Structure formats: structure tokens, C-alpha cells
Structure 1
């Protein structure tokens, strides 16, 4: 093991030196603690402790928005915070995309948030900021989508650089002391909706940016013209270009060092390969935080390294003896066992050689993306608390889960068995999870999930879950861990349900922490679960899709404050009881008046699924029927849904 470590270390050192020559950000945790030091009245941030982690562990940091272990946003609203914000510390968080400090007691000039990389949203409304905002403040913030400056004491002219924000979706400036004209924000024309057809054209006079039938202006011919770019011949050398030249020299020097290191490495590899009897294979990780490389290590015996990518079983006649068996032969503990050959057959060595990156951590384990040499991308789930059954029973369970075929479920492709840990390999879905598509950037738009997309996703989830409950009817929890992070979305918005059927494999003491079904009311009150617990989980997902809110049910108990989410079950049930359903709908879909009745019907389905008493919840087949009914599904189509 030590030999393999020394073989890989020079390469990682080379990568680290190369990246460090460009940027050397401190870890998110240290940067956040430095940021906290600049705040006053920060009692609400008591969970930000040096002995804890912001995105992992039993106690999540209040107000910190994470995605797959990376800090992507700060939501520090209504906390009574004050002081001079340390922007320098925020600059050192490379994944930071949104900052919300609304309704606190900050004052003085607006912080230099324009120094923070690729921000998509800043929300400073409801504070005591004052003074003028420099005209070019927003000139470098090309990714900005939402700017909330309302309810402060800003003076002077509105910054002209706001007109340069091509992706701007929301701008709130009310209740300040701005003077002068509003900058000509260059946005596409605004089409007057058909719902305003009762107004006369004269009602919209003086608004040249409006288009549509009412004002007799074709929207397709009214696009805003972009400003002409400056000719390269007219551009003068800048300080930035001089700095870039210097940076290139540094990078060239580092590259030379890397060549020397790699040359030495090649000699060492040749010498060691002749002596090595066993090795530690390393799955390289390209860190998402753009910092130094990190190794993800998996122990495998020498015998398991002799295999390469093989064609699919359909093209290998006469190979029935190995079909569905240990790809590497020998039956050793280091083997990779293929249980689904739809993506071809591959061995442990192919997985270990793959370029990889961290996808995130969850209740069951860590996930990685691996891109193999043949171009096949897989997602690798690494789990340690899965020793409830012996190897033979584990193999039987994995084969059963892999045998299920439905367009809305994602079956496992292979597994690797060791007593200490298990690897489960799935097809990689590049579009990402429903969780990220809905909440990946706090405050940013998720307009790509329009109503047709969400309707398709809800129907697909209901169909996939009904299929699982029919095929795994003997399971106490046919799925067990249904939540938006375990629902992947294909390019055509077809949902793929993953990580199902794991309850029989997970250690008893780890179940309540690992599986979302154990967050159902009956599990919390008396420790019991049933297929109806899956129905509860589906109800939460339906309400999440319709409201666009992050459910506090996903959070660890005791850490649901500080903007960490909303109890969608209680919130929606209360509004439904008062006939206020339309007020609950996500603004991204609420404008679709023609389909609001479907949205409201599905809200009622979600409420029924999330009933506190499991006895009154519908079973999964009935849930699917109600979803299809709400969607006006044709009778002949409904009869084919379970196929």
C-alpha cells in the first residue's frame, strides 16, 4: 500500500503545484470561520464551530447552503447580525454563488461583493446600508441573476453597470433614496400575456419594450440589440494582461517541474512493477473546488487487476459461464461483479484507472463519477454500513434489484464486495439530480423546470414507485430512501429513481440515519415503517416540486433553523385547509393559468400522501391513479403504465 501511495503522490503534487500557481483558496470551513469573526451579534451562528463541518456531519451549519459537500450559498436572514462584512474571506470560497443577508442590521456602504467570483444572486434588502453605489459596481458580475437592494438607505444614481447584466431576472430597488433615471437594462422584450387581453392598447403606451397582439408588435422582431464590441485593434494593453503574462511564466515554470517529476515517476513505476505482488489501486479525483487533487482509495487484490473492458454479453457468444458473474474471475473479495450488462462489462482495473470526481455525500455513503477509457461514465456509491447480510445474500439482493426494468428506475450495474465497505455502480446521468435542479443555487431561477417538465417528472416518479411497490411487495420498504437527491433527471426530463431496495442490507443501527423513510411520522413516533412510509416520502417530493421550496424534512433533526428549509407538509396542509392553494405554487410555474387546476389537484395528492396517519394514506398504486387522474391521462394509456 505504501508503495502505491508513493507512486501516486508525485503526480498529485504536480497537479497541486499547477493549480496552486493559479489560485490557492483556503478550505470553505476556515473561510467561513474567518467570515464569522467579522460579524457582531452572531449568536445565531453557534453551530459554526471549529470542531464541526459546514456541509457534513451530524450538525449542519445554520444558514450554509451546500451541494454535494461544497458551500454554494449563505442564507443569513433575520438573525440580528451586524458589523463590517469580511469580503476577503468570502472570496476564498470558490463555490459560493448566492449571498443573502436580508433583514439584519448591517450598515455603511454596500460590501464589495463584486469581488466574489461567480455570484448569481445578492440579497441585502431590509438592512441599513447607505451611501452611493459606484457606477461600475456590477461590471464584473456577469453571472448575476438576482439583485435585491430594497429597503435600505442608498443614495445617488442607480449604478449604470446594472445595464450590463445580461442574465438579470430580478432587480429590487424600492424604498431607497436613489435619484436620476433607471439605467436602460438591455433585456429581451416583455410579451403581454393573453390574460391581459381585456385592456386596450392605450393602457400600455410609453412602453416600447412591450410586445404582443394587444400592442400589435411582433415579439420575434423586437429583440434588444447588443452593443458592438470594441475592435481588438483599439484595445490597449491593461494591467490585467500584464498580470496574465506574469502568470503564464509561473505556469510554464511549474510545468517544467512537472515534466521532471513525471520522468522520475516513470522510472520508479518500471522498477516497482517487477516486484509488486499486491497493490493499492487509486481512483483519481478531480476536486470540484479547484484545489489540490485528492485520492479516493479502494483496496483490491492483484488478481482483480488483470481484466479490461469487454464488449457486452450479446456480442460474446459462448461466454454464458461468466454471464452475470465475477468479471475478474476467481471469486476473490476484490472482484467487481456485473449484475446488469446494459452498459457493457468492465473490471475493477478499468474502474481504478478511470478519471473521477466527487459527486457528494449522503446518508448511505459517498458518491463519485468515474469516466472510463471506453467513454462510459458511471456513478460509484461507496458504503460502509451495509453488513446486515452475508456475501451470498448480498449478491442475491443486488441481482434482484438489477433485474427490475422500468423507464423510471435506475438499476445498479455492478458491485464490489468487501466486509469493510461496498461499492455499487450505476449509470451516470449527466443532467443531475432533482434536488440540484430545484435548489442548486439559492435565489437563482430554475425556469428550465417549467410546468410541462414538472408534470412529466411527477408522473414518472409515481409510475416508477408503483412499479417498485408491485415488484418488491415483499419488502418492508420497497424503496426506503425516496427524496429529490435520489431522483436523477434525464435530458428529456424523464425521472430516474435510484438507490432503492437497500433497507435489507443496511445495518440496523444505521437505518434511521441512512434512509429518509425513517423521517416519516410513524417512524419518528414509534419506530415503525411500512410501504406507506414510501408514500409519505413521495408526498414530500410532490410538494417540493409544486412549491419549489426546500423541505426541512431533509435536514437533520435539531438543525432546521436559519433558512435551512420549510416544513412543506405542514405549510401546504394549513394553506389547503384555508383554500389558499394558489398561493403555494412556485412562481416559475404559477403563471401558467391554464394548468393551475392540475397543479392544485396534485397539491391535494401530495397532502394525502403526507398524512401523519399511515392508515389513511393511499397505497402507491392508488397514488399513481390519482396522479394520472389529475393529469387527465387517457384511459388506454393508464392501462399500460405498469408495463
Structure 2
């Protein structure tokens, strides 16, 4: 056969062109990460689109302006933007009082985005859609006002996600089932919400940190979570099984319906099954009585519910209209309560008129009641209202005073701190108590607040100032402690200003104070291990001293009931380096505060908790004290760092001081992974010693200007 023109040549050319075209189509997909940044979508446009839906009344995002770039190499030019190699790596917009809508779809054009933190703001509404940001490693949304049910597939396809923190919101409904399918999940915090239903079976092997406390979950805890601490499930009254130790009740089998009881028609032949038409007829006959039964059952249940609701409504009306005396059982009604009015700074004493119920018509009476005029249905009627009552939380203390005793007490303003106003109330019996008035505690409801107060009432340690009682009202809360005549550690170390006394405390007393604080902090970590920050506000002004200079910690464990935006601004644990670096606190945030406190006690200089805006030197970050100590050679610490008033003559004590400074610096380490664990710090502190000297006064006082009497007693701050 004669050979013709080779037909394979056009085909070969076509196939080569087709292969080249396919290669060009695949190139952008395979090398998308390698594209130069100049060809990538504009990160500034994406962030500005996100900002357009955010309400920024405080101007926290004022640096986000068109025509500028959010990143310059590894440095961020926009507030809250985390940069890496010139690209946006994460957003840390926390504690900025932001609200509005989070349109995360605008961030899909940022392929390098790995972490999002919007903690401690005022965002509300449903859960933002995050599943389209499949490259995320961490999501922090705690401390906002998000609410509603999270879709079951909210986290579907997020194969790289490691940390999900949604705590302290108002989420409800079931826990999203898609969380069980996130393969790399390491940490899940859903505490302090209103999640309902059963806990999904979370079988991720690397999942070690789970917090589901204070929700409305029920049923048996899955076997995959039985190694989690029991405190991580606290506050869910219907949970059972390990590790809680609560036995799960067996679910009774459902009773057969009338349809199942109805006899089926049989065939004419014994031992044979009915024919298909006969089976259909049997099903229809069986369904008829079931349908009738269901209709009557629904009607009966509906009428019964109406009857119960009517009885409850009548009982509630009677209860609200009656005036209650103070009794041995805590009242659960929401009612007006006492209001201790602030006094001008130049007036130390206040009469009982300053301790009264709010409102012009409220009058304090011996029974603790009051009168209030209210308008209902167009008419104005006078009625008695219950001012509420104090709730005592200590099992070892009786009810030694009532609310009306506070109303008649003489009130003295002790000070106005970041978290509230502090008063000394002297009862008619002569007993004095300290009343702390908080306004920034309306984040949690009454039931959650009271449960946390009962938890604090069970704490018992010689270096903790115990909570005696509390008063709950939606607008403000009163916490009541015993009065301690000595002033705070801050007053002891620094005095109150020019012309006022400053204590010269010997090394043995300073070491005793440090040990007492460390022991109390360790106790809080053991008893409140469900809290990320068990203290939260550890500083010298929150440490009182008894007659023997034993420290008494105050204002502890208030983070769960504080408004998170205010906590982020006011509480010192929220100023730790990890908050700035990662947008969240850690179990070591209190350790950082302890380190600063140790340096303050030794140096006699106030600690600075606000981190410097400029990059800190390699010696550490955490305030002037850390910078000074870190930049001073260790051989010069005793002459340069230690308080000049701290006179020490023994070489043994000098060596112990240097050891304590080392401990303080290890606790202040800016890198949270390098910072010491609390147990390590406490063990090292307990090893320190101070040489006892006979007939040595524990402290004496010198005035700042040398004109004060050295023998005056110390008051309270």
C-alpha cells in the first residue's frame, strides 16, 4: 500500500498545544502562593471593606486610612494588624469598644491570614461566617455579645483550625457538629454561653484544652472528654457521667403507641403472612387510632400548659405585690437595692442618709423596705417594694447584720479604685465592714452571678481576704468583706505623697509578704482551675496587711463577672505581653503580675503595667522595673535596683535578695512560653530564707520630708 501524508502530524501538533494550554491553566493554582505581593489582591482594600461595617466611636482604627499600606515588611502600620513578610498574617482587634457587623467575606482575598481576634468588644448578632477562611489557625471571639444558634456546618472544611475561643457570649442552641470534624483542633473554649443539648463526640487526639463550663448542656459526657478536668463542665446542671462523677439515669424505653397495640389482620392460612393489600389495609387501620390519640394528646398538653402558666402568673403577682421582711433565705426577686452614694474627697464621714435606696421616693426603714410610686394602665398607685437583702456566703459565719443595718451605718469613703468605690461601714454594734460598690458587673445574669459568689464564699486561705456577703442588683453589685485596719502594701512601700509616711520594711518582712502572696495565688490556681486568669488584678494596692504584716489578697477571681471590655482596660492581668502578642490572656498572666510585684517589693518603686509602645529591649518587656533590672548587671542589683531604705548587713540575706530578683525576672519574661509556671515560681520562693534577728522591729516609718511623727499608726487605703 502506498504511504500517504502522515495524518499523525496535525494530531501531534494539536495535542502539544492542548498540553501547553492545560499547563498554563494549572500554573496559577499550583503557584498561587509564590506570586509576588505586587500581583496579589490589595490587602488595604480588604481591610477597609471590613472596617466599613464596624462602628469605631473611639477611633481605635483611625490608622486604617486609604492610600496607606497596613504592612511594611514585618512591621504593622495599622492598629491591630499582624504582619509577616509584608503580608497580613492576623488581626488583633480586641478591647477597642468596637461594634457593628463583622463581614469576614471581605478577608477572603488575604491568603496569608492565620488568626483573628475580636475579643472584648461590643459585637453582637449571629456568629460571623468563618468557614470560607479555610486557612485560619485560630479564632478568638470571646467577651462580646454574639448570640443565636451557630449553624452545624459553621466550621466545615477548616482543616487547619487549631483554636476556637467563643466564651463569654450569648450563643445558644447545640454545639456545632462540625467542630467534631476539625482534625487539628487543640483548644476549644465555649464556656459562659447558653449552649444546649448534648456534647458532640470530639475525638481529636491533640485536643487537650476544653472549657464548656456555665452553659445549659445535658446528657452524658462523651468518652473522648473523660480526661478533661471536672471544672471544665461546671455550671451545666444536667450533665452526667465521668469526669463529673454524677451517675446518668437510664432512659426508659418508649411505651408502645396504640398503633403498635392494634391487632393486624391475619391471612386465612395459618402461619402465612398477609398479602401486600392486606398489609396496606392493616397499616391504615393502625394509623387511625394513633392519629386520633395524637390530636387529643396535643390538645390536652396545650390546655395543661395554659393552666400551669395561669397559676404561676397569679402566684408571681402575689409575690411581687407583697412586702417581705429579711429572713434566713435569700430573696430571688429583682428589686431595688441599697445605693451607697459617693462622697466628695474632702468629706470622710457620711450619715445614714447616704446609704439609701435609689429614687427620690425611697426611704430607709427599719424593715429595709421602701415606698415607690409607679404608673400602671394610665393610673398612678403607691406600692411597697422589696429593697432586697444581703446574701451571706460563708458557712462559718452567721448573719451578724442585715441590709437595714447597712442603711443605718456610718459610711466612710476609703477610696475610688479602677473597679469601683470602696467604703467602710461602721454598724451600730461597733463592727466595721468594707463595702465595695461595682458598676461594671452587669455582663452575667443573676443566677450565674450568685453561683460564682457562692464559689468565692467557699474559698478559705489565710492569705485571702474572705468574701462575707454580697448584694445583687442589675445596675450595680455590692461585695462585703471584713475591715482590715492596716493599709495596703502600696501604702506601706510608697506612702501617699509628699509629707506622708513611708515604711522602711526589713528584708524578713518583705520576704514574708512575697511568700504569702505566692501561696494565696497557688491556692487560687488549684481551687479555680477552670478560670484562665484566677486572680486577674494582682497588684500592691490590692494586697492588705494584717497586724503581723501577713498579706491578704483582695479583688480576686472577678474576671468571670466583670464586663470584659472594662476588664481589658482596667485589670492588670489583661495588660500582659501575651495579650498584645496574641490577643488573649493565659494561665501565666497572673505569673507576670507576680513577677512585677516581686520587683516592686524589692525595689520600692511602683510597677508599670502598661507595655511600652516602642519595641522593648531584649532584656524584657513589662514596665520600667523590668527594663531597669534587665539592663543592670547582676553584680550591681543590690546597689542599683534594691530599695535604698532596705538595709541589710548579712551576706546571706544579700544572696537571697539576688535569688528573689532572678525569680521576679523569670516571672516577667515577655515570651509566655519561656515564662515560669506558677508552681516553679512558688517552689523557688519557698526555698528562700531570711535571717531572724532578736528584738528587731518589723518595720519603722520615715516621712518623705522628714517632718512626720514616726510613731503614727497606719490607716487603710
Q: Shorter-chain TM-score: what band? A: 0.3 to 0.5
User: What is the TM-score with the length of structure 1 in the denominator?
Assistant: 0.47
User: What is the TM-score with the length of structure 2 in the denominator?
Assistant: 0.42
Name which one, 1 or 2, has greater alpha-carbon Rg: 2
Return the structure number with greater helix share: 1
Higher relative contact order (CA 8 A, sep 6+): 1
